[in-house]
Amino acid sequence: MDALGHDDHVVVVGAGLAGWRLAEGLRRHGFAGRVSVVGAEPHLPYERPPLSKQVLAGRWDLERVALAGGDRAGELGIDLRLGARAVALDAAAGEVTLEDGTRLVATRVALAVGVEARAFSTPSSGALPTLRSRDDAEGLRDRVAGLEPGETVVVVGGGFLGAEVATSLGARGLVPVVLEAATRPLVGPLGAEVAGWLAGLAADASIELRTGVVVRDVVAGSGTWRVELDDGLLEGREVVAAVGSRLDLGWLEDSGLALDDGIVVDAALRAAPRVAALGDAARVLEVEGERGARREHWQVAADHAEALARAWAGAEPSALAATPYFWSDQYGKKIQLLGRPLPDDEVVRVVGSTTSGRWLALYARAGVVTGAVALSQPRALMLAKPLVDVGARLDDALADAPWER
C-alpha cells in the first residue's frame, strides 16, 4: 500500500490498543489527512492488561487504564466516535457502515477489532461473568469489593487470565478456587514440560488450583453460587469465567475479506488493497509460516500499529516481524514468553532451577532457537532476546550464552 497524502481519509474500526496506537502513530509520523476512529465501547481507549492485575487487586482506579485521556483525540485532530459499532464493510469501496446507519468512506480502512471473552454457560446460570472489558472489570471489582476477607470466589479456567484473576482476588484477602478442565494449565501456549514446571505456582502462592475438573452446573442461591462439579460441590460468593476468547467477525462475512480464525492479512497487514487488519483479530501470513498466526499479545498489537502507521504515513519502516512477546503476572511471579515456539519444541533450561522460582529456558526446533520463556528472570530474558530474534543455532546459543558471562 502506498503512503497516504493530505486528501486521504483513514477509518480505524476499533478504539482499543491497536486502533488508538495506529491513529496516534499516523499523526506522529506526519499524516495530515482525515483520521476517524470508531469504537463500539463507550469509553476512551484504554489498556486491558491492568484490568486483571492492578484494577482487580484494588491497587488502581479505572481512570489509570486510559490510553488517551482528556481530549487527546481532539488535540491530534482525530475524529473519535465512541459507542459506535461498525456493522458492515465494503472492502473494495472502503466504506464502513455504523450501527446508526452512518456511512464512512475511506481511502484506507484499518480493522483493529480485537476479540471478546469466550462465554462459559451452564444450564442454570446461563453465561457467567467474564473479564475482557473495562465494564467487566468495574462490575467484578465492585462485586468482590462487597465481600469479606476469607470468602470464596470461584474462577473457572486456570489459564493466563484465570491465574491473574485468582492472584488479584487473593491480594484482596479473598479465597479464590481455580477450576481447570485440563490436567495442567498452560500446556497449549507453553508446552507440557514448561507447564509442568509451573504447575506448583498456585500452591506456592497458597491458592487452590483444581485440575481435571468438569463444571456441570452453577446455581445461584441467596448470596452464594453453588458450583456442581463432576466429583463434588463447591460454594462461592462470586463466580467468574476465564476460558479464552472468541472472534466477533460475523459482520465482515460479506465484506469480501478472507476470514479464517481471524482476518487474514499478508506480512504488511494487508487484507485487501484498501483494508488492513491488526492486533488480536489479525491472522498474519508469510512471516509466520503457512497458515500464519494470530496472537493475543499486547506487544504484538502495539508493533502492528507502529508498523502500519509508518507505512501509511510514509515514514521509515519498522520491523513488523519483530519477535512476539507476551507476559503474565500470576501467583506472585512474572512469566515472559518470547518468540514463536510450538508446544512440542525441545526445551532446554539455561538459567536457574525449577525449584528456585526463577529460571529461563530456550525452545528449539531442529537445532534452531524458536523462543524463550522465563519465570521472574526479566534480565536473562532480555539477554536471550537476540538469540531468538536471529534464530540462533541452539548449540551456539548454549556455548555462548550471555548468562554464563
- Rank residues 17 and 311 by Cβ distance to ligand FAD and give the closer one: 17
Rounded to the nearest whole angstrom, what is the least distance from the CB of residue 242 to ligand FAD in the complex? 8
Q: Kindly write out the interface string for residues 220-259 of this chain, putting x where it contacts ligand FAD by CB under 6 A and - elsewhere.
A: ----------------------------x--x--------
- The region of 12-20, 25-33, 147-155, 205-213 touching ligand FAD under the rule CB under 6 A is 12-20
* Contacts of residue 291, Cβ cutoff 8 Å, sequence gap at least 6: 260, 283, 285
Tell me which of 301, 309, 313, 364 binds ligand FAD, using CB under 6 A: 301
Closest CA to 3 of 24, 28, 25, 31: 31
Tell me which of 10, 11, 110, 113 binds ligand FAD, using CB under 6 A: 113
# residues contacting ligand FAD (CB under 6 A):
35
3-state secondary structure 201-222: HHHHCCCEEEECCCEEEEEECC
Q: Kindly write out the interface string for residues 153-192 of this chain, putting x where it contacts ligand FAD by CB under 6 A and - elsewhere.
A: --------x-------------------------------
Q: How far apart are alpha carbons 17 and 140 in whole angstroms?
A: 22
Whole-number CA gyration radius for the chain? 22
Q: How far apart are alpha carbons 93 and 87 in whole angstroms?
A: 15
Tell me which of 38, 195, 269, 380 binds ligand FAD, using CB under 6 A: 38
User: DSSP per residue over 311-353, as a string?
Assistant: HHHTPPP--TTPPPEEEEEETTEEEEEEE---TTSEEEEEES-
Q: How far apart are alpha carbons 169 and 205 in whole angstroms?
A: 12
Q: How far apart are alpha carbons 354 and 224 in whole angstroms?
A: 38
- The region of 23-31, 109-117, 181-189, 382-390 touching ligand FAD under the rule CB under 6 A is 109-117
Tell me which of 40, 186, 234, 307 binds ligand FAD, using CB under 6 A: 40
Binding site for ligand FAD (CB under 6 A): 13-19, 38-41, 48-49, 51-52, 85-86, 112-114, 131-132, 161, 248, 251, 279-280, 296-299, 301, 326-328
